[in-house]
Structure 1
Amino acid sequence: MFAKSIKIPLFATPVWGFDLPEDDARAINAGLLSMLDAWFTPRPELRPGETWQTTHDLHEQNEFAPLYPFVDQAIQMSIEGLGLDDKNYVITGCWANINPPGGFHPPHTHPNNLISGVYYMQTPVSADEIIFHDPRPQAHVIHPVLTQPVPEVQTTIGVEAKPGRMLVFPSWLRHSVKPNYTNDERASLSFNVMLTDYVNKHSMPQWSGFRRDGKRA
């Protein structure tokens, strides 16, 4: 018999979660949702499964100002959590997503950024989760039958999304959103961050959707 046994978790992928105070979240969400409703009325026509997205300049809009201190604190804490010495950053893009009934986001990353985040304003029941995918291709080679869920061998992990919650994660981490099977819209705000010294060497975030003028991006 062994004198001691240990399990060493190697190469962990951090995902940070931050919940805003309820009163702040309620006021911020109301302002952002009102802005989006004005921008997307009437709603653009979509093909099945598509979502509405704004341009990536929401951090320059007045309605973003009340949320900015929380975004800044979350970014600073995440950069510190990565052990980085340089905490000077720039938001390279910030946009809103509206998932109508049937809308979803396929697995994707946010290229040419350091960290990315998402803040939730409205999450209907059964459309209240973001899925993160194991970035190691070898982890998908074999899937033995499990007696119970074990985090170390799961290739996807769902994290609860709820109004007032902000999640921050490495931009290279693949993530997705399952189809919205409710009759209500799911609304969130996403942002990308890059260290200031690198900002002249990276290209703009890659994304697709509908601009606020209703045209396809």
Structure 2
Amino acid sequence: MTTRSLFATRFYEADLGDADLVEELEDAALELSKADRAGINWSKAHGYRGYTSYASLNDLPLRDPRFGDLVKLLNKHVAAFVRDCAFDLGGRKLKLDSLWVNVLKPGGAHSGHIHPHSVVSGTMYVTVPEGAGALKLEDPRLPMLMAAPPRLHDAPEDLATFVYAVPQPGSVFLWESWLRHEVVPNAAKGERISISFNYRW
């Protein structure tokens, strides 16, 4: 008898590779969270517990060289992920489509979602206080499982319904943009700072 695993869902984890830049990005994110009035107002209007530049600033790599340096490193990580996914891009490369800062206060969360119109999405973690929580990833087949029974609590990770990826400062997480995920509530006493991004073809 043979049992094969089919239709793999890739998830990429690595360290950014520049601890000094991670520290600089903490300063950059906190500066934005105080100066970006449009982002502050949007966050309040939409019940975001903290600050995000998601709906206010779309030029961070041009606006601040610290984000420009980040993109240069992210491009290398994304290229490695593209190879691992066996994408046939016809000689082209994925390009950064958007990049935004998240400063999540204690108790803050972000419900399950996907990133339409992108190929690869990801997050780079800047500040991760103890108890800040993990990124929760959902089995993409969940809507089609119909009468399937639940999985055992100790099922292997590749059979689990949900997988939790625990970040550290400098962690880079990448996944295909159709993969549903959520940010679990920040149970830490301090702010969790991350930088999220999308790449398109």
TM-score bracket for this pair, using the shorter chain length:
0.7 to 0.9
Match of 1:12 in 2: 8
- Cα displacement string for residues 31-54 of structure 1 (whole angstroms, at most 9, x for unaligned residues): 111112222238948486634211
Q: Identify unmatched segments of 5+ residues in structure 2.
A: none
Using a 3 Å threshold, how does the CA distance of structure 1 residues 85 and 125 change in structure 2: closer, same or farther? same
- Residue in structure 1 matched with residue 85 of structure 2 by the alignment: 82
* Separation (CA, whole Å) in 1 of partners of 2:186 and 2:51: 13
Aligned partner of 1:193 in structure 2 is 199
- Decide whether aligned partners of structure 1 residues 8 and 186 sit closer, same or farther in structure 2, where only a CA change above 3 A counts: same
How do 1:27-176 residues align onto structure 2 when only pairs under 5 Å count?
Answer: 27-41=20-34, 44=40, 46=44, 50-54=49-53, 55-60=57-62, 61-86=64-89, 87-136=92-141, 137-139=143-145, 141-144=147-150, 146=152, 148-176=154-182
Distance 2:30 2:6 in 1: 45
Give the Cα separation in 2 of the matches to 1:147 and 1:176: 20
Q: Secondary structure at the match of 1:148?
A: coil
Aligned counterparts of 2:151 and 2:159: Cα–Cα separation in 1: 11
Query: 2: distance between equivalents of 1:113 and 1:103?
Result: 25
Highest Rg: 1 or 2? 1
Would the alpha carbon gap of residues 81 and 182 (structure 1) be closer, same or farther in structure 2, given more than 3 Å must change? same
> What is the alpha-carbon distance in structure 2 between the residues aligned to residue 41 and residue 145 of structure 1?
45
TM-score of the superposed pair, with normalisation by structure 1: 0.77
Say which structure is richer in helix: 2
Q: Which has the higher mean CA deviation after the structures are superposed, 131-140 or 159-168?
A: 131-140
Q: Tell me the amino acid that sits aligned with residue 162 of structure 1.
A: Q
Alignment counterpart, residue 177 of structure 1, candidates 161, 179, 183: 183
- Which stretch shows the higher mean deviation, 30-39 or 83-92? 83-92
CA distance in 1, matches of 2:120, 2:58: 16
Between the two proteins, the alignment pairs up a number of residues equal to 188
- Cα separation, 1, equivalents of 2:163 and 2:16: 23
Quote the offset at 1:140 in angstroms.
6.2
Question: Which TM-score applies when normalising by structure 2?
Answer: 0.83
Unaligned runs of 5+ in 1: 196-217
Provide Cα deviations, 1:97-128, integer angstroms capped at 9, x if missing partner: 11101100100011000111110001122224
For each residue in 1:163-194, what CA deviation from the matched residue of structure 2 results, as whole angstroms up to 9, or x when unmatched?
11101110000010111122100011111011
